[in-house]
Homo-oligomer: A and B are copies of this chain.
Amino acid sequence: MAASNTKKTRDADATRARILAAAKKDFATSGLAGARVDEIADRAEANKRMIYHYFGNKDDLFRIVLEEAYTDIRTAEHNLELEHLPAREALEKLIRFTWDYYLKNPEFITLVNSENLHKARHLKNSEKVDELFKRFVGMVGELLERGVTEGVFRTGIDPVQLNITIAAIGYYYLTNRFTGSIVFKRDLMTPEALEERLAFNIETIMRLVCVDP
């Protein structure tokens, strides 16, 4: 499973990008401790020396992969432009987006899990993530306020708690899909199971937030 064979001669940006993509893949698959620098270099079709040249060391590489992952999801979220929809529709769109993003980008979940295993020590040194989230929490807060004004949402809901819950009900299902499929004795990843779960999640949040669910 190597990077696309567009390896030209001497292209610093391309090499850097290939290393990042390879690192994302390996860190997501094996965790920080389990991932191997040599394998990342192989997958990137780059020399291991280049990893240290561009990224310093394994931990810094991990930090940058993580920052990129957070930037990606927050950018996609921003592009939803929820502010142009009625509050109820906007909320449902956010729930669907969160679910779909986790589903299509499973590496995001495992990267975040890895970072939490390490008590977020990489994120602590990151300035980038800081500003990303300011906008995001604000967005959901405004959405809630708008819903109250429209008369469709209950008052007094904490946007952070709501955010966490919307993420939780999708994240948990997907991150624990392997043990979950065993202990609950059903394949949690069939198209039908996924559809059913999304519907359940939408209902959960709508009943929590809406005046008249």
Contacts and interface: CB of A to CB of B under 8 A. Distances in A.
Judged by DSSP, the binding face of A is helix
How many monomers of this chain does the complex have? 2
A109 to B, nearest CB: 9
Contacts of A204: 165, 204, 208
Interface string A167-185: 1110111011111111111
A200 interface: yes
A160 to B, nearest CB: 5
A116 B184 contact: no
Interface string A141-161: 000000000000000001011
Interface stretch (A13-21, A27-35, A42-50): A27-35
Contacts of A182: 120, 123-124, 129
Interface of A: 30-34, 70, 110, 112-117, 119-120, 123-124, 129, 132-133, 137, 158, 160-161, 163-165, 167-169, 171-173, 175-186, 196-197, 200-201, 203-204, 207-208, 213
